[in-house]
Amino acid sequence: MLTLPDHFRVLLKHIEPKGERAEAAKNIPAQVRDFLQKTEDISTVDPHSRLAGSYARCTAINDIKDVDIILLIAPEYKEQDPGDVVEILFKALHGLPEALGETGEVAAIRRRQRRSVNVHLEESDFDLDVVPAIALDSLDEPLDIPDKDWSRWVKTHPLGYAERLSELNGNHGGKVVRLVKLLKQWRDVHMIYKRPKSYWLECMVYCRIADGTVSTDGLSYAELFRDLLGSIYDDFLPYLNRSEAVPKIKDPMLGNNVAHNWERNAFESFMRRVEESHRWAERALEQDSESEAVQLWQNVFGDRFPGDVEQERAKSLRDAALTGNIFVTSTGRVMTEKPRERHVQSPPQRFYGED
């Protein structure tokens, strides 16, 4: 089975967000907190703001521009109409771009959303989605956030989910977060319009790994991604055969359907692409030719999937030799991941060259 571990390692490196943007995203919540502490337009409580979303969970890929911020507001706002609270936040954030040192053409607050306020920072090229939230007990418990369209407060637990995801990821050797990133890269390549939301994709991965539907034990990323696509397609196929239905995607923390607004035509498009990519993944794993396998994986992940990884492979083999992680199969293939077929593992090397 041709799993191309070095190719997947390079792909994951290619889709990793740039370090400076990730660092900037992490600094923004504190800047928002400092700005709002100086205004009387809205009252916040300690710790005032927290980074949420894909940056906070380390599941962001490529040049992500949206930064999600939870703004912890005073409990007294729970007595007010949710739409009014969103409007209060809208007014309170009006001077934020200037306060953050943005120069040039600044598009202040660009759009209003049902549960958050969007702030566009022109120079930094960031969109901030600021969500007002109330912690009636503690940050370890679900938060209450206003939903303007539903005219009521709803429960959410993004901070708890981030901890659960981190724990699950650690228990599976870091594969869960990387699998989420691979699924997001696949989505970005194959779906331009009406894409499933990033959080939906995270839930698809999280729940399948957590309940054991998809196993990570001893599997390469090539095998894992094939199994993930197959599991999603098999689970959702009964809904595809119903003329009006769309599947529910369960929130890992609260169990509610996070994809309640998934449109039928978008779901059908998603399923077509899952089925097609699953076939490509299966064919890629069956190839004897590396170049043919690479072409099939490029169909799945686009041109970010590398064609030539000789330098990366040489470095991996060198590092693996020093730690004893070189495996030679009965057919003579040299691998840095333990194969399923019969193999011999090399002992750790202690020769580091002449002085």
Q: Any idea which of 139-143, 199-203, 280-284 has the lowest mean pLDDT?
A: 139-143
CA dist 132 → 74, 97, 169, 245 (Å): 10, 18, 28, 33
Task: Give the 3-state secondary structure of residue 52.
Answer: strand
Query: Around 116, how many Cα atoms within 13 Å sit in the side-chain half-sphere?
Result: 18
Average pLDDT over residues 73-86: 92
Distance, CA of 116 to CA of 168 (rounded, Å): 29
Question: Which architecture, in CATH terms, is 161-304?
Answer: Orthogonal Bundle (1.10)
Q: Which of 351, 354, 352, 346 is nearest to 320 (CA)?
A: 346
Q: Any idea which of 61-75, 103-117, 285-299 has the lowest mean pLDDT?
A: 103-117
For residue 137, pLDDT beyond 50: yes
CA angle 207, 53, 12 (to 5 degrees): 70
Banded pLDDT at 139 (limits 50, 70, 90): confident
Query: Around 306, how many Cα atoms within 13 Å sit in the side-chain half-sphere?
Result: 18
What pTM was estimated for this model as a whole?
A: 0.82
The verdict on domain 19-156 having CATH code 1.10.3720.10 is no
Q: Are 253 and 154 in contact (CB under 8 A)?
A: no
Domain segments of the chain: what residues? 19-156, 161-304, 310-345
Average pLDDT over residues 40-63: 88
For residue 172, pLDDT beyond 80: yes
Q: Are 133 and 156 in contact (CB under 8 A)?
A: yes
pLDDT of residue 174: 96
Summarised one tens digit per residue, pLDDT across range 9-38 is 999 999 998 877 777 777 777 888 888 888
Banded pLDDT at 322 (limits 50, 70, 90): low
For residue 166, pLDDT beyond 90: yes
Q: Residues 112-125, buried b or exposed e (16+ Cβ, 10 A)?
A: eeebbbbbbbeebe
Q: Are 12 and 178 in contact (CB under 8 A)?
A: yes
Residue 133: phi, psi to the nearest 5?
-145, 150
> Which residues 6+ apart lie within 8 Å of 6 measured at CB?
309, 312, 313, 316, 336
Distance, CA of 22 to CA of 72 (rounded, Å): 22
Distance, CA of 226 to CA of 180 (rounded, Å): 13
For residue 225, give the amino acid letter. F
